[in-house]
Amino acid sequence: MPGVTIKGLSKRYGDVAAVRGLDLQVKPGELVALLGPSGCGKTTTLRLVAGFLKPEAGEIWVGDRCLSSAASVIPPERRRMAMIFQSYALWPHMTVARNVAYGLRFNGVARAERDRRVRDMLRVVQLEGYGSRYPGELSGGQQQRVAVARALVVEPEILLLDEPLSNLDANLREEMRFEIRRLHETFGITTLYVTHDQAEAMVISDRVAVLQSGRVVQIGSAEELFDHPRTRFVAEFIGKTNLIDGTAEGPSTVARGRLRLQVAAGDLEPGAPVAISIRPHQIEMAPAEPAAPAALHANALTGTVRRASYLGDAVDYQVELEESGVILRVAGPTPPRAHVGERVSLRIAAAACVPLADSG
Amino acid sequence: MSVPAARREAVPVRVRLDGIDRSLPVWAAAALALVLLMALPLGWLAYMSVSGETGPTLAHYRRALGDPALGKALWNTVVLAFWVGIASVAVGAPLAWLTARTDVPAKRLIQSLVLASFVTPPFLGAFAWVMLAGPNAGLLNKLWRALTGADDALLNIFSMPGLVFVVTIYTFPYVYIMIANTLALIASDLEEAAAILGAGRLMVALTVTLPMVAPAVVSGFILSVLQALALFGSPAILALPAGFHTITTQVWSLFQFPPKVELAAAVSIPLLLATALLLFVQKRLLGRRGYAAVGGKGAPRRIIPLGIWRYPALLACLAVMACAIFLPYGVLAKAAFSRAWAQPLTRDNLTLANVSFTFFEYSATRAAILNTLELGVMTACVGAGLVALLSYITSRKLVLGHQVVAFLALAPVVIPGVVLAVALFIAYTRPPLLLYGTLWILFVAYLTKEMPVGYAQADATFRSIPSELEDAGRILGAGRLRVLADITAPLARSGIIAAWCFIFIGVIRELSASIILFTPSTKVMSVVIFDLKEEGQFGAIAVLGLFMLAMTFATVVLVQALLGRDVLGSRQSANVAG
């Protein structure tokens, strides 16, 4: 089971650079999600890995084979990969069984063995008995399963998925996330998974690579990305966050107006601009206590509730800080504890204040 | 993961072959064939128009523009084209509105009749109207005299108004198609939004519907004008006896002995530029939607009740159809099965003699039928294959300069048949390709002329097949040609057969290029019909005409069955010149 190594990959469409010096390493058997907004180059990257596109620069390696470089590209049919498309790309003129069996024709698999493997795979995706149907006669979820079966039955070295769930309705999508994760754990195929849905990426993958403007800006587990976003973009793209622009006062202190925050860093250069990210649910809110002592490594602030929106499972507050006029969003438990106009005190652990690398 | 050892080993060896896509020569050859097909004749045409005995010269242009006869023909053409454009809009627009937006009865019938008018070769209609409204023997005039006792004819088809009339009844479908398809794309909610704001029915029509349809109206007008500019058959049948020329008949007469090829070239170039300009304007009007303006899903539409006007409206539609279909087809049928077409259809007058004469006795018609069928099948097969390759290249962007390929494939739309014939005559009466005098020159002419229609159809077909379907095959181990055979071809089949049919229909009715390129041994049906007119053989003309129509309609029915939809909806590109 080889892994995938991408070095300095670049691809332009006319004047537009879709991928710009992208580096990525996928370990053998790992599932990495490529996450980013539309136009970030994630699908282009996937199609480069599949061999549908030729890079202008950079290399794509699978194990010890260099599959793509600016000089030569091994065509898709000789890459031992499989791909699941956003549209499923099932062939409407072939039955489900023929769709699934198609890739086995080129694997030198004998006919009897082929039939057996198709049957087995249809059972795995819970489509037993659907072999003689045509794709047009199946529901969206079933078509999705056929696409999965067709990709897995050839036992590819690398599996590529291009937003495979985006055409499903919300309930089915959630169900299929777990399904894909289960299949990955069963087969253990090295997998690249493209999506713009952060929840999907976090549920399905071992690691998430966040793409912005054709580059990987951060890669890590869901927790790492959520708790330690490295840039403004990552902090905002993954979950909700508060961004505060300030100036470093000491190695672990950031100031904005009269606001002083202890942050999760010890190496800030005094005087440098620093942006910090604070997750709404990591802010503790209580009715205002005039002389609350500041706990060690914690920031105690006061503010006034400007808006409170009841969301069912949480309350979304907007609190204007007295120290600086900054408005923080705070996620509080239900039932609502504070009303609009009420003064509140906020506690934020220093570890929850994450300085970002691209603060300038 | 079990990967067979052999497969693993094979990879490094194959890497070198991968630098060159093995299917590339196929694409390159198809693109090159297209370039030759287009560039060679047009290049010769341009060259010939400026070549003199002592080097480049503008003398031919000076002569062409200075010749009063040519000037008169040019003016006649402008008059004809303008009035045909106006009349086509006047007929086609209300008809389109009635069928698209009102509860006029028998919509399917009206649509079928418009389609019938669309595929009727205009020169057949012109013949039929000679029999109907010729000043002496025309049946309608005889009826008029019998009814009123008058001595004078009511109608004289051999006149400019007569010509405009006959051209219009087979040209208005272009306007109809443009407008009906546009109306189908305008959702009623846009109109309802205006109605909610207090606009009356007339106000809505004037302020919302009309402005949205205006580009389609103008572009339908331009297509009709183009059609009239390029037409040869109807002017030749109606204008020449009336003693005037249009530009196409003038070019044709320059080829009568002794041929003045340089002059014909010098007249052709401005005609070509004019059609190119008009088509450019039309494309701009439709914006980037271009030919695809008529695609898309039909939006929900509100049907406007006509009330007491329902049946008068239907009658008006049928009156148009009587002129375009019922009367002409009727008189053709009468002529085909009677001894004397101008006499009443009595028992004595009924005969199958014309049929047996045409198919079995008269060698010229028999040979022409065989030539036409041979050319039709051959052109359609080669053409369908070629447009399939070309549109595959352009829709999948397989070669560098695929936009040029798309442009060239559609470019013949601007070339009137007569001009194409002049260009081909010049290009293929000299080495290296001496095709003149053989069926091959007609084959090349038809292939070039029908390319845009076939290409538009094939292109729509491939665009409807997502390239992801092919990608899915590639990544599972199938090479490009394998994927083409297993996946693309089966999915594209009915669309390509439809392209075949469109080309076939175009070929069997072609007159304007054939009339210049034929030689005694390479006559086709349309040319023979034209010849028979000189001999006054109206019975044989009618039999041939009906046979041509029968083949056309059989092919249309086949296409409708294949595509499961209306031909009018898919045949968007203008097949300039009939």
| Residue B381 CA from chain centroid, whole number | 18
**ipTM value of the model?**
0.84
The secondary structure of residue B304, as a DSSP letter, is B
Residue B521 has which token pair?
């041994």
State whether B477 and A105 contact (CB < 8 Å): yes
DSSP-based three-state secondary structure for A20: strand
Residue identified by tokens 């030569």 is A72
**CB-closest option in B21, B476, B490 to A103:** B476
Nearest-CA distance B296 → chain A (Å): 20
Rounded distance between C-alpha atoms, residue B417 and residue B577, angstroms = 6
CB contact under 8 A, B4 and A108: yes
Q: Which of B1, B2, B478 is nearest residue A77 as measured by Cβ atoms?
A: B478
Q: CA of B420, closest CA in chain A: separation in Å?
A: 37
Q: How many residues does chain A have?
A: 360
Task: Say if the Cβ atoms of B469 and A106 lie within 8 Å.
Answer: no
| DSSP letter for each residue of A148-211 | HHHHHTT--SEEEEESTTTTS-HHHHHHHHHHHHHHHHHH--EEEEEES-HHHHHHH-SEEEEE
- Asked if B384 contacts B499 with a C-beta cutoff of 8 angstroms, the reply is yes
CB pair distance less than 8 Å for B491 and A76: no
Specify the pLDDT at position B121.
Answer: 92
Which amino acid would we find at residue B497?
A: I
| Predicted local confidence at residue A44, as pLDDT | 94
- Backbone conformation region of residue A88, classed left if phi is above 0, alpha if psi is from -120 to 50, else beta: left
pLDDT at position B301 = 63
| B3, B466, B491 member nearest A80 (Cβ) | B3
Q: What is residue A291's predicted lDDT score, i.e. its pLDDT?
A: 54
Task: Return the structure tokens found at A183.
Answer: 């299949």
Exposure b/e, B4-24, CB count within 10 A at least 16 = b = eeeeeeeeeeebeebeeeeee
Please give the average pLDDT of every successive group of 10 residues along chain B, which has 578 residues.
Answer: 40 39 76 83 86 80 84 92 96 91 88 91 93 87 86 88 95 90 73 72 74 84 90 93 92 85 86 86 66 42 80 93 93 89 78 85 87 94 92 83 82 86 87 83 92 89 89 92 90 89 91 90 91 85 92 87 59 33
Interface residues on A facing B, Cβ-Cβ cutoff 8 A? 1, 50-52, 65, 72-83, 85-87, 89-93, 102-103, 105-108, 150-151, 154-157, 160, 189
Distance CA B398, CA B323 (A): 48
Is A76's CB within 8 Å of B471's CB? yes
What are the structure tokens assigned to A243, written together? Answer: 């961004």
Interchain contact, A107 vs B490, CB within 8 Å: no
Question: Is residue B43 within 8 angstroms of chain A, CB to CB?
Answer: no
How many CB atoms are located within 10 Å of the residue A1 CB?
13
Compute the distance between CA of residue B513 and CA of residue B511 in angstroms, rounded to an integer. Answer: 6
Chain A contact for B11 (CB, 8 A cutoff): yes
3-class state of residue A41 by DSSP: coil
| Tokens, residue B157 | 């088809």
Give the count of alpha carbons within 13 A of B534, CB side only: 6
Q: Which of A1, A73, A78 sits opposite B11 (nearest CB)?
A: A78
CB contact under 8 A, A108 and B3: no
pLDDT given for residue A292 in this prediction = 53
Which DSSP letter does residue B309 get? G
Residue type at B252? W
Q: What is the pLDDT of residue B187?
A: 64
Cα–Cα distance measured from residue A323 to residue A335, given in angstroms and rounded to the nearest whole number: 27
Minimal-distance CA residue of chain B relative to A156: B1
Helices H, strands E: what count in chain A? 8, 20
The 3-state DSSP composition of chain A as helix, strand, coil percent (nearest 5) reads 25, 35, 40
Contact B477 A107 (CB under 8 A): yes
Amino acid at site A158: I
How far does A33 lie from chain B, in Å, by closest CA?
Answer: 20
| Tens digit of each residue's pLDDT (9 = 90 or more) over A270-291 | 888 999 999 999 998 888 765 5
B contact test, residue of A80, A158, A160 with most B CBs within 10 A: A80
Backbone phi and psi for residue B105, each to the nearest 5 degrees, phi listed first: -70, 165
- How far out from the chain centre does Cα B255 lie? 24
User: B396 CA to chain A: closest CA distance, Å?
Assistant: 12
What residues of chain B lie within 8 A of the CB of A117, using their CB?
none
Distance CA(B483)–CA(B211), nearest Å, equals: 46
Please judge whether B6 and A77 are an interchain contact, meaning their C-beta atoms are less than 8 angstroms apart.
Answer: no
pLDDT at B300: 56
Q: Split chain A (360 residues) into runs of 10 and give each run's mean pLDDT.
A: 93 89 95 93 94 93 93 91 92 93 89 93 92 91 92 93 87 87 91 93 94 93 92 90 91 88 86 92 82 62 91 90 88 86 90 82
CA distance B552 to B567: 12
Tell if the CB–CB gap between A91 and B466 is shorter than 8 Å: no
**Chain B residues within an 8 Å CB radius of A91:** 469, 472-473, 487, 491
CA distance A117 to A108: 13
Write out the two tokens for B367.
């040979």
Q: Do A85 and B471 touch (CB under 8 A)?
A: yes
